[in-house]
Chain A
Amino acid sequence: MLKTITQKPDSFLVRILRQDGPGKKSYWQRFRVPYEADMNAISVLQKIAEIATTVEGEKVAPVVWECNCLEEVCGACTMLIGGRVRQACTALVDHLLADNPAEIELRPMTKFPVIRDLLVNRSRIFASLEKIKAWVPVDSYLDMGSGLRQSQEVQQLAYQYSKCMSCGCCMEACPQFLKIELVRKPGETEDRFRAREHTANMRSFMGAHAIAQVELFNTNPIGAMTAFERLEALTAEGGIQTCGNAQNCVKVCPKDIPLTTAIGREGRAATIHMLRKWFDR
Chain B
Amino acid sequence: MIVGGGLAGLAAAMKLAELECDVGLMSLLPVKRAHSACAQGGINSVNNLTQQLGDNEWKHFDDTVYGGDFLQHQPPVKELAYWAPKIIDLMDRMGVTFNRTPEGFRDQRRFGGTLYRRTAFAGATTGQQLLYTLDEQVRRWEVGGKVTKFEFWDFLGPVLDDAGRCRGCVGQDMVTMEIHALPCDAVILASGGNGLLFGRSTNSMACTGAAVSRAYQAGVHYANPEFVQVHPTAIPGADKLRLISESARGEGGRIWVPKKPQDPRQPNDIPENERYYFLEDRYPAYGNLVPRDIATREIFKVCLQEGLSVQQDRPCVYLDVSQLPREMLDRKLSGILEIYEKFQGVDPRVTAMKIFPAVHYTMGGLWCDYERDAEGGLVHGSPRNQQTNVPGIYAIGECDYQFHGANRLGANSLVACIFSGLTVAPGVMAYLDNLPAGGRAADQPSSLFEQAAYKHLADYKALLARPADGPNPYSLHLELGALMTKTATVVRHNPELAAALGKIDELAEQVNVSAVVDKSNWSNQNVVFVRALKDMIPMAKAIVKGALQRDECRGAHFKPEFTVPDVTATEPVQRRRQAEDWCDRFEANNKKWLKTTIADCTAEGGVNLSYEDVDTSLIPPRPRLYGVVGGQVIEEVWKERRKKMMNAE
* Residues of chain A whose beta carbon lies under 8 Å from any beta carbon of chain B: 1-2, 4, 20-21, 36-40, 42-43, 46, 49-50, 52, 59-62, 64, 66-76, 89-90, 92, 115-116, 119, 122, 126, 129-130, 133-138, 140-141, 143-147, 149-152, 154-156, 158-159, 162-163, 165-166, 190, 217, 220, 222-223
Contacts and interface: CB of A to CB of B under 8 A. Distances in A.
B204 A162 contact: no
Interface string B76-113: 00000000001011101111011111111110000000
Given A21-B523, A71-B38, A150 B100 contact: yes
Contact of A136 (B93, B129, B239, B519): B93
A223 B95 contact: yes
A167 to B, nearest CB: 9
Nearest to A50: B474
Contact of B236 (A38, A60, A122, A144): A38
Contact of A40 (B102, B129, B238): B238
10 shortest interchain CB distances as A-B pairs: A61-B518, A149-B104, A147-B92, A135-B136, A136-B95, A50-B474, A116-B523, A43-B239, A74-B33, A146-B89
Given A4-B345, A130-B139, A151-B104, 15 more contacts: A40-B237, A43-B239, A67-B205, A68-B35, A69-B38, A70-B205, A74-B38, A74-B204, A89-B239, A143-B89, A146-B88, A152-B99, A155-B98, A159-B129, A162-B95
B239 A76 contact: no
11 contacts: A46-B239, A49-B474, A64-B523, A68-B29, A70-B240, A76-B30, A116-B523, A135-B137, A136-B93, A146-B93, A150-B100
B132 to A, nearest CB: 6
Nearest to A119: B523
A162 B100 contact: no
Contacts of B526: 49, 61-62
Contacts of A159: 97, 122-123, 129
A147 B35 contact: no
Contacts of A4: 345
Interface of B: 14-15, 18, 29-30, 32-35, 37-38, 86, 88-90, 92-95, 97-106, 122-123, 125, 128-129, 132-133, 136-137, 139-140, 142-143, 175-176, 178, 204-206, 236-240, 242-243, 331, 335, 339, 342-343, 345, 422, 468, 472, 474-475, 517-520, 522-526, 529
A70 B38 CA distance: 9
B33 A68 contact: yes
A220 B103 CA distance: 18
B442 to A, nearest CB: 19
A191 B339 CA distance: 40
Nearest to B11: A141
B339 A150 contact: no
Contact of B93 (A116, A138, A150): A138
A204 to B, nearest CB: 18
Contacts of B128: 73, 163, 165
A218 B38 CA distance: 27
Nearest to B17: A141
Contacts of A154: 100
A126 B139 contact: yes
B457 to A, nearest CB: 17
Given A72-B339, A129-B139, A140-B18, A190 B37 contact: no
Contact of B14 (A62, A136, A141, A165): A141
Contacts of A190: 176, 178
B83 to A, nearest CB: 9
Contacts of A149: 100, 103-105
Contacts of A136: 93-95, 133, 136
Contacts of A137: 140
Contact of B342 (A21, A69, A90, A135): A90
B314 to A, nearest CB: 10
Contact of A59 (B90, B140, B517): B517
A166 B37 CA distance: 13
A154 B292 CA distance: 34
A154 B104 CA distance: 10
A38 B238 contact: yes
Task: Please classify the interface of chain A as helix (H, G, I), strand (E, B), loop, or mixed, using the class held by over half of its residues.
Answer: loop
B345 A2 contact: yes
Contacts of B29: 66, 68, 76
Contacts of A163: 123, 125, 128
Contacts of A152: 99-102, 104, 331
A46 B94 contact: no
B143 A130 contact: yes
A146 B32 contact: no
Nearest to A134: B136
Nearest to B103: A149
Contacts of A134: 136, 139
A217 B529 CA distance: 39
Given A115-B175, A115-B523, A155-B100, A146 B92 contact: yes
Contact of A135 (B139, B472, B518): B139
Nearest to A45: B239
Contact of A76 (B33, B133, B136): B33
B106 A146 contact: yes
B339 A166 contact: no
Given A50-B475, A69-B204, A147 B89 contact: yes
Contacts of A135: 94-95, 136-137, 139-140
Nearest to A140: B18
A162 to B, nearest CB: 5
Contacts of A49: 474, 526, 529
Given A68-B29, A69-B204, A138-B93, A150 B238 contact: no
Nearest to B129: A162
A116 B525 CA distance: 10
A31 B262 CA distance: 39
Quick one: which of B97, B105, B472, B524 has the most chain A CB within 10 A? B97
A223 to B, nearest CB: 7
Given A126-B139, A159-B123, A163-B128, A43 B238 contact: yes
Nearest to A130: B143
B234 to A, nearest CB: 10
B308 to A, nearest CB: 23
B474 A46 contact: yes
Contact of B38 (A2, A73, A162): A73
Given A135-B140, A155-B100, A62 B176 contact: no
B590 to A, nearest CB: 37
A38 B331 CA distance: 28
B525 A62 contact: yes
Quick one: which of B32, B34, B92, B122 has the most chain A CB within 10 A? B32
Nearest to B469: A59
Given A135-B140, A149-B104, A156-B331, A64 B525 contact: yes
A144 B97 contact: no
Nearest to A153: B100
Contacts of B104: 149-152
B345 A20 contact: no
A61 B519 contact: yes
A68 B97 contact: no
Given A43-B239, A73-B38, A119-B523, A90 B132 contact: no
Given A40-B238, A50-B475, A76-B29, A59 B136 contact: no
B429 to A, nearest CB: 14
Contacts of A140: 18
A122 B175 CA distance: 13
Nearest to B14: A141
A70 B239 contact: yes
A173 B627 CA distance: 55
B485 to A, nearest CB: 17
A60 B128 CA distance: 36
Contact of B204 (A46, A60, A68, A75): A68
A134 B136 CA distance: 6
A256 B556 CA distance: 39
A1 B517 contact: no
B331 A59 contact: no
